[in-house]
Amino acid sequence: MRHAVTLIPGDGVGPEITEATVRALEATGVEFDWDVQQAGENVMAEYGTPLPDHVLASIRRNRVALKGPITTPVGTGFRSVNVALRQELDYYACVRPIKAYPGARNLRDDLDFVVIRENSEDIYAGIEFAQGTADCQRLIAELSALAEKPIRPDSGLSIKPISVSGSRRIVQFAFDYARQNHRRKVTLVHKANIMKHTDGLFLAVGREVAQQNLDIEFEDRIVDNMCMQLVLRPREYDVLCCPNLYGDIISDLGAGMIGGLGLAPGANIGTDGATFEATHGSAPKYAGQNKVNPMALMLSGVLMLRHLREEEAAQALEDAIAAVIREGPVTYDLKERRDDPTAVGTSQVADAVVERLRAGA
Ligand code: NAD
Contact at 8 Å (CB) between 217 and 249?
A: no
Indicate if ligand 1 lies below 6 Å from the C-beta of 277: yes
d(CA 28, ligand 1 centre) in Å: 27
Q: What is the C-alpha R_g of the chain? A: 21
3-state SS class at 13: coil
How confident is the model at residue 76, as a pLDDT? Answer: 65
What is the C-alpha to C-alpha distance for residues 225 and 188, in angstroms, rounded to an integer?
12
| DSSP, res 197 | T
Cis peptide before 329 (omega within 30 of 0): yes
d(CA 14, ligand 1 centre) in Å: 10
Q: Pocket of ligand 1, candidates 51, 66, 252, 282: which has the most ligand atoms within 8 Å of its Cβ, to mutate?
A: 282
Give the max Cα distance, the chain.
70
The residue type found at 51 is L
39: closest CA among 77, 4, 3, 66? 66
| DSSP, res 73 | -
Per residue in 163-197, pLDDT tens? 999 999 999 999 999 999 999 999 999 999 999 99
Q: What percent of the chain has pLDDT above 70?
A: 99
Question: Catalytic residues, which ones?
Answer: 124, 191, 224, 248
What is the C-alpha to C-alpha distance for residues 60 and 63, in angstroms, rounded to an integer?
5
* Phi/psi of residue 293, nearest 5 degrees: -80, 120
**56 Cβ contact partners less than 8 Å away, ≥ 6 residues apart:** 85, 88, 89
d(CA 298, ligand 1 centre) in Å: 16
How confident is the model at residue 338, as a pLDDT? Answer: 87
What pLDDT band is residue 303 in, cutting at 50, 70 and 90? very high
Closest residue CA from atom 30 of ligand 1:
281
What is the C-alpha to C-alpha distance for residues 263 and 233, in angstroms, rounded to an integer?
21
First to last CA, the chain: 23
> Is 1-92+272-361 a domain of CATH 3.40.718.10?
yes
How confident is the model at residue 124, as a pLDDT? Answer: 76
> Is residue 73's pLDDT more than 80?
no
Task: Tell how many helices (H) and how many strands (E) occur in the chain.
Answer: 12, 12
> Is residue 361's pLDDT more than 60?
no
How confident is the model at residue 329, as a pLDDT? Answer: 97
What pLDDT band is residue 125 in, cutting at 50, 70 and 90? confident
Per residue in 154-172, pLDDT tens? 999 999 999 999 999 999 9
> Is residue 305's pLDDT more than 60?
yes
> Is residue 77's pLDDT more than 70?
no
Residue ranges per structural domain of the chain: 1-92+272-361
Closest residue CA from atom 37 of ligand 1:
281
Predicted TM-score (pTM) of the model is 0.94
How confident is the model at residue 32, as a pLDDT? Answer: 98
Indicate if ligand 1 lies below 6 Å from the C-beta of 55: no
